[in-house]
Amino acid sequence: MSYVPATLRRVVTQRAGEQCEYCRFPQTASLFAFEMEHIIAEKHDGVTEAENLALSCPCCNRFKGTDLGSIDPETGQLTPFFNPRLQEWSEHFRLEGGVIVPRTPEGRVTAKILQFNLLERILEREQLISMGQ
């Protein structure tokens, strides 16, 4: 994995509003440092530039790995993940309590592979909501 210079990390972190760009978990509420995620992995010739980087919580980054998409469980079609550089989160997902509900094929494969709705992740979100964050 390429080194991401501090200035670029700052740009990506601020642009993301210090939230994971996939599951929207706030960095300030996490015990772990968020990561620079290559939207298109370096393995697939993704570059280390702001346009290809997203701020990601360690959970989302680990589950996404170098994948670019998956098979949509509803249509059986090969579908790319939600791309935070090209797409609006609220067009692809909505929050229902602590559950992230996908609205689109891209939302479905992203929520499934990044495991947005593991029980402990839902409980963490519900806790944040109850604290008004």
Closer of 16 and 105 to Zn ion (Cβ): 16
Give the nearest distance from C-beta 76 to Zn ion in angstroms. Answer: 26
Q: For Zn ion, which is the closer residue by CB, 36 or 57? A: 57
For the CB of residue 132, give the shortest distance to Zn ion in the complex, in Å.
Answer: 20
- Positions in the binding site for Zn ion (CB under 5 A): 20, 22-23, 57, 60
- Nearest C-alpha neighbor of 82 from the set 41, 110, 56: 110
Give whichever of 71 and 124 is closer to Zn ion, judged by the CB atom: 124
Rounded distance, CA 114 to CA 60, Å?
5
Give the nearest distance from C-beta 23 to Zn ion in angstroms: 3
Query: What amino acid occupies position 32?
Result: F
Smaller CB distance to Zn ion: residue 75 or 85? 85
CB of 116 to Zn ion, least distance (A): 8
Write the CA distances from 71 to 51, 60, 101, integer angstroms.
25, 18, 17
Nearer to Zn ion, 35 or 72 (CB): 35
Nearest of 90, 100, 97, 102 to residue 129 by alpha carbon: 97
- 64 burial (CB, 10 Å; 0-12 / 13-18 / 19+) is buried
Shortest Cβ distance from residue 59 to Zn ion (Å)? 5
In angstroms, the CA 111 to CA 23 distance is 8
